[in-house]
Chain A
Amino acid sequence: MFSGIDRPRQPLHPMAGLILSFLTLTLGLALGQPLNLYLFMASLALLYLVAGYGRTMVRVFRLLGVIALVVAGLAYLAGDSVAGSLMTLGRIALVGLSSVPLISVHPTQLSRALTQAGCPRIIALALLITIRFVPVLASEMQRIREAMTIRGVRFHWTNLRHVYRALLLPLVVRLINISDLLALSVETRGFSLSERGTVYKPVRWRLKDALVGMAFAGVIAGALVL
């Protein structure tokens, strides 16, 4: 899922990505006119493209574009004005656009950046564990279902007894075991809440972060003037 973490480089520093996402969403929502909103988004899309988010934008809008058009179309059919429907379309697009820098941040990089910024390590650790938990959960469910099939349990979602005994029970036991062992592993590897530790591969700010930041400030100033 996240192979090749350090290659290629992240477009921006993880903290810059977080801030950019947050400001894009909040400022965009504050714009009341469709024209202003679309100009704001067009400027930011150009900036994101230059910053290196082109591929992510294509992926996001390939998914979100259809949803935005359907929702805006339904709003129009439900009696909304053209301007209102355009605003609905724009706000959904804004959510997509604002998510671009955020979802481009690699969890490992974000965890490192948070630790460097003085954030308690437990938060960075929890972030990583949470992200890793999703594929672990999926894989555990798959293995349990396979194991039950081997044992001759004919599994049906509608059969609550099967769901409880043959899926839920082993799954809960496995997840408790995994979390116990994980906690033990973390503690026996020297993790302590009271000590900060170091970062193996520090994430550094680059000139590009500053340039994108200045350009972003210019876009905001333009939006405020308009």
Chain B
Amino acid sequence: MSHVKSPAASSIWIKDLYVRYSAEEAGWILEDIDLEIGPGELVVLSGYSGTGKSTLLSTINGVASKVFGADIRGLVCVQGENVESMDLGHISRRVGTVLQGAEAQIFNLQVDDEVAFGSENLGLSPAVIAERVRTYCGLMGLSPDQAIEGLSGGQKQRLVIASVLAMEQGILLLDEPLANLDGASAKDLLGFLWDTTRQGRTAILVEHRLDMVLPYATRLLCLENGRIVQDLDQAQAERSYLSLFPGRQNSSRCSTSELFRLAHVEVAHGHAPVLRDLSLTLHAGEQVVILGENGSGKTTLLRTLAGLVRPRSGELWRAPQLREQPLKSVGYVCQNPNYQLFMDTVYKEVDFQSESAENTWAFLDLFGIRHLQERHPLALSEGQKRLVTIAAIAAMRPQVLLLDEPTVGQDHQGLGRLIETLEEMRRRYGTSSVVATHDVRCADVLGDRVLWLEDGTLARDGDHGLVRDYFQRHTAEHQRPVEGQSRL
């Protein structure tokens, strides 16, 4: 761990920081923060949803004060200069920020133009920009000539990361950069961050998937109620946190009755096939996890089961009980919770298709969101929104729950609760679940059965052991890379 002692020698130097978004608010979102981060540090920022992690990042890059008009007390310096004395354009020449929500940040039509945008703003020559475009597209597995319109969610996330990395600032702030990234891409990104911080850059990651990032981190900061409560080095962090993973409950209680049967199913987007020759059967009571790289067809498979897309060929059979009330019996929770929220309170949202008020309260309690009942759903944090969406769908008492990346934005507490809730739903109501995820924590606990997709085909179909096989393909991501081995 670096022990820099002055603003000039630090990459980031924070003294007596208090932040709130309005001067009228009684409490502070961040309080009493003293922090020094030096060159060469790769810091992971951890904490439950709503504890101020993103606010800390937006204070460092100046967005909190200059865009949101936050009330900020104390001193924040980047590379020795007070953030308050610089405009955003100048701060962004020192600090690169990967924001959450990749899709909404893209405005170009082709991959190379998007990656080049930041470097164009820096006034670099076309030759240098071309070199950076080539380098960072290669790093993130993108083709520079690719049209953006056809990219999957994970590929768009890679694109946004590449476009920030290409600016090559001294400090990188990454807010949940691994969301929607498959194992190989996550490994490449973390390896790059490791290499680049060895060369003197500084990186701060907000990330809930600690199992993936801790092997690369030099330091772990834990936030709780707006304060830094722990500041650990890598060894301490791994000892403290990897033991917190929710344990797997041995549960293989599926029945023999079939819910879905797919025979040689092919699904296409336009003319391009996404799922090819897919044959499988899903049974009542099963907890199924779908694993696969970005663009392998996980979301399309869920959408096919939900009845949102029709196979171009092959046969999709649904059990009679699913055909009677297809929308109520198959609950689908999509990747972005914002689409599925439309009532003005959390209570009304969960109550919308609930059979009774009693049932609504039961699900508010089950998901631990009773205290949010009067809040507007769209004003919640991303992790809370996701819980509300799942609760609202679950309150319909579907026989099958289809969840697309349910752990994005979920802290350990949220993930633990989600897993317990799904288990409780299966116990109480016999609800089956099919979960598409890149998260080893989620797959490990929820995967009684694992479907492994590759390029739209079912590469493997097996029991929980497949989770280990799948994630061990990327074992290097769990090991600190060898010093001096460049990822580029």
A: residues with CB less than 8 A from B are 1-7, 107-108, 125, 128-129, 131-132, 135, 143-144, 146-153, 165-166, 169-170, 173-174, 177-178, 181-182, 184-192, 194-202
Contact = CB atoms under 8 A, between A and B. Distances in A.
* Residue in B108, B130, B339 with the greatest tally of chain A CB atoms within 10 Å: B339
B117 interface: yes
Which of B101, B107, B112, B113 has its CB near the most chain A CB atoms (within 10 A)?
B107
A191 B396 contact: no
Contacts of A166: 342
Contacts, number: 168
27 contacts: A3-B149, A5-B145, A107-B109, A108-B109, A143-B339, A146-B308, A148-B340, A148-B342, A151-B342, A153-B342, A165-B343, A166-B342, A173-B378, A181-B99, A184-B67, A184-B99, A185-B104, A190-B89, A190-B93, A191-B117, A194-B89, A197-B120, A198-B126, A199-B126, A200-B113, A200-B129, A200-B133
Category for how many chain B residues contact A = 35 or more
Nearest to A178: B104
A132 to B, nearest CB: 5
Given A2-B149, A197-B121, 10 more contacts: A3-B146, A128-B109, A132-B108, A144-B339, A150-B308, A150-B327, A152-B327, A182-B105, A185-B99, A192-B121
Interface in B134-182: 145-147, 149-150, 160, 163-164, 167
Contact of B109 (A2, A178, A189): A2
Contacts of A202: 126
A196 B466 CA distance: 53
Interface in B248-269: none
Most chain B CB neighbours (cut-off 10 Å) among A131, A166, A184, A185? A185
Given A128-B109, A151-B340, A6 B145 contact: yes
B352 interface: yes
Interface in B94-116: 95-97, 99, 101, 104-110, 112-113, 116
A188 B88 contact: yes
B18 interface: no
B306 interface: yes
B319 interface: no
B162 to A, nearest CB: 12
Contacts of B410: none
Interface of B: 61, 63, 67, 87-89, 92-93, 95-97, 99, 101, 104-110, 112-113, 116-126, 129-130, 133, 145-147, 149-150, 160, 163-164, 167, 306, 308, 327-328, 331-332, 334, 336, 338-343, 352-353, 378, 392-393, 396
A167 B259 CA distance: 31
B108 A174 contact: no
Contacts of B95: 188
Given A150-B331, A200-B133, A2 B110 contact: yes
B104 A169 contact: no
Nearest to B110: A5
Nearest to A194: B89
A4 B392 contact: no
Contact of B61 (A107, A188, A192): A188
B107 A187 contact: no
Contacts of A186: 107
B339 A147 contact: yes
A1 B327 contact: no
A169 B338 CA distance: 11
The 4 closest A-B pairs by CB, nearest first: A192-B89, A190-B121, A185-B105, A3-B147
Contacts of B61: 188
B263 to A, nearest CB: 25
Nearest to A135: B149
Q: Which of B145, B150, B336, B342 lies at the interface centre, i.e. has the most chain A CB atoms within 10 A of its CB?
A: B342
Contacts of B352: 151-152
B194 to A, nearest CB: 23
